[in-house]
Amino acid sequence: MAHAVKKIVIVGGGFAGINFVKQLGKDNRFQVTLVDKNNYHFFPPLLYQVASAFIEPSNISYPFRRMFEGKSNLHYHYGSLLKVNPGNNTIETDTGILEYDFLVLAIGTETNYFGMENVRQHSRPMKTIDDAINLRNHLLLNMEKASLINDRAEKESLLNIVIAGGGPSGVEIAGMLAEMRQNIATIEYPEIKGILSHIHLIDASPHLLGPMSSKAQKAAFKVLNQLGVKVKLNTAVKDYKDGKVLLADGEMIATKSLIWTSGVIAREVPGLPPDVTGRGRRILVDEFNKVKDTQNIFAIGDICLQVTDNNYPGGHPQLAQVAIQQGSLLAQNFRRQASGKPLKPFSYNDKGSMAIISKYEAVADLPKVSFTGFFAWLIWLFVHIIPLVGFRNKVKLAFSWFWSFITNNPTLRLIIRPGKQEN
């Protein structure tokens, strides 16, 4: 006798979500509906290149409906999750109610401002494509504003940039903005030539690139110093008001641009049983990614906290590879269960981490070896093209990079502000 087709609703089409869905395409034992508030998947590790006008947003984004073409058991629902109702197996979204047999939560994290309201209101996050485009417009607009005025202090404040957070995103955008300042700003904006403005990178911990090897940390510090970035460690950002960033040691930096890459917190999911969240508001799951105290609800990727992996008793780092591997394994476990096979518990296979610091300079920590410099940079390029969704995106990105690296001058510095005036 044929088994009934199971309805799976998965919320969130990031790394975890699409790797889950990919495994179930064309398996007609499941009807899978992906809910996402954007109609596209995107690649966060390259957001900083969009924010600094180095590549176009479309280079790193791909529409879900295109991804699902030809797979009749995969569906896309445009909407934002509002609430889960475990009692009647439904979720509420801002565009309707959906029923499920199994629910998978994969909506990741949001920017964490650690309760600093002024920072939340006035800084610039870099978490989504919208954030990156807003940041790009803001930085370009400030250069134009600075070109129009004569007051030196005001010019400096428009051109100073403070980046809070010395993890890979902070390091990468600091390096890229410093290079753009050297290669582009001084040539295309003669009105701001000679103005003493700075890029500051601030981190509360004693090292840049916290979880990476000390070799990578030192290399990042050295290269950023050479590029003129003012790196300040062991110092937290405390406030941002009246156009000044206040640091824990009392220093104030006048700037119209505070870029916030300092931390994340899991997105809230109203309606789940009480006591299912742990550190960083992450949802507690078992070794099969099933949410604590539920029967048919799962959580994967950045949003979940799994402490059953012997090598990661405190939970996994919130990284793309963890999300990818959890998404794939959960889908495989659904298929195993449907075939009467035993389920496999999750165990993270760490493939290493890397960050690019400037043109021809990157740092790479692979499982058995760490290296820096040009070779690491080449590997970084390769590693960041392969996982992009869509062959056209890979070719477009490779061409954009090739062109930008040989000319030192990407030509995307357009200020496009649909419908919203920036103040």
Ligand X SMILES: Cc1cc2nc3c(=O)[nH]c(=O)nc-3n(C[C@H](O)[C@H](O)[C@H](O)COP(=O)(O)OP(=O)(O)OC[C@H]3O[C@@H](n4cnc5c(N)ncnc54)[C@H](O)[C@@H]3O)c2cc1C
The residues of the shown chain that bind ligand X, judged by CB under 6 A, are 11-17, 35-38, 44-45, 47, 80-81, 106-108, 126-127, 168-169, 267, 301-303, 318-321, 323
Q: Which is nearer to ligand X, 22 or 29 (CB)?
A: 22
Is the Cβ of residue 40 or residue 155 nearer to ligand X in the bound state? 40
Residue whose entry in the numeric block shows the structure tokens 């590997």: 379
Closest-CA residue to 41 (of 17, 74, 11): 17
Query: Is residue 279 within 8 Å of residue 315, measured between CB atoms?
Result: yes
CB nearer to ligand X: pick between 15 and 240: 15
Separation CA 399–CA 392 (nearest Å): 11
**Least distance in angstroms from the C-beta of 65 to ligand X:** 14
Ordered DSSP codes for 350-361: ---EEEEEETTE
- In the bound state with ligand X, the residue whose beta carbon lies nearer, of 137 and 157, is 137
Task: Tell the smallest beta-carbon distance from residue 1 to ligand X (Å).
Answer: 36
139 contacts: CB under 8 Å, gap ≥ 6: 51, 52, 53, 161, 177, 257
Smallest distance from ligand X to CB 279, Å: 15
Amino acid at the residue 186: T
Side-chain half-sphere CA neighbours of 215 within 13 A: 13
* Residue closest to ligand X (Cβ): 14
Q: Quote the least distance from Cβ 145 to ligand X, whole Å.
A: 26
Minimum gap (Å) between residue 176 Cβ and ligand X: 12
Instruction: Provide, rounded to whole angstroms, the least separation between the CB of residue 370 and ligand X.
Output: 16
DSSP 8-state assignment for residue 279: G
**For the chain, the helix, strand and coil percentages under 3-state DSSP, each to the nearest 5:** 35, 25, 40
Question: Shortest gap between Cβ of 400 and ligand X (angstroms)?
Answer: 18
- Strands of 81-236, DSSP E: 81-85, 90-93, 96-99, 102-105, 109-111, 124-125, 161-164, 199-202, 230-232
Nearer to ligand X, 143 or 173 (CB): 173
Nearer to ligand X, 190 or 314 (CB): 314
Please state the closest distance from residue 4 (CB atom) to ligand X, in A. 27
Residue closer to ligand X (CB basis): 63 or 243:
63
Question: What sign does the dihedral 131-416-384-364 (CA atoms) show?
Answer: negative
Look up residue 124 and give its DSSP letter: E
Kindly list the strands in the beta sheet with 252-254, ordered across the sheet, starting from the edge strand earlier in the chain: 237-241, 244-247, 252-254
Give strand ranges (E) for 167-250.
199-202, 230-232, 237-241, 244-247
C-beta closer to ligand X: residue 155 or 401: 401
